[in-house]
Amino acid sequence: MERVYPRTAVRHARARGPNRRGTARLPHTGEMRLSDFWDRMSMHFGEAYAESWARDYVIAELGGRTVTQALSDGVAAKTVWRAVCKVTDVDSKLH
């Protein structure tokens, strides 16, 4: 089962420094890094509200799961982002 990395984990990974390729040490889920996903969530909802919304808002397109549950269950970050965009009327390609 894939672990969810909220915004705070992204900050901690960046604080640890880059890996051999010069990027933060975060896992990659699908075609979108989880750090990119959380950056987009923060840009859209604001940093404090993004994590709360991800924990509480149930999305039918994600099988009746929240964003956090879907990511924990291994759903690709890109798929989750598209579902978020669909329910919030945001163009997924704008971000």
Cβ burial, residue 9 (10 Å; 0-12/13-18/19+): middle
For residue 14, tell me if it sits in a domain: no
Tens-place pLDDT, residues 18-70: 555 555 555 554 478 899 999 999 998 998 899 999 999 999 999 999 999 99
Type of residue numbered 52? S
For residue 56, tell me if it sits in a domain: yes
Beta bridge partners of 32: 29
For residue 32, tell me if it sits in a domain: yes
Which domain, by its residues, includes 67?
28-95
The count of domains in the chain is 1
For residue 16, tell me if it sits in a domain: no
- Is it the case that residue 16 has pLDDT exceeding 90? no
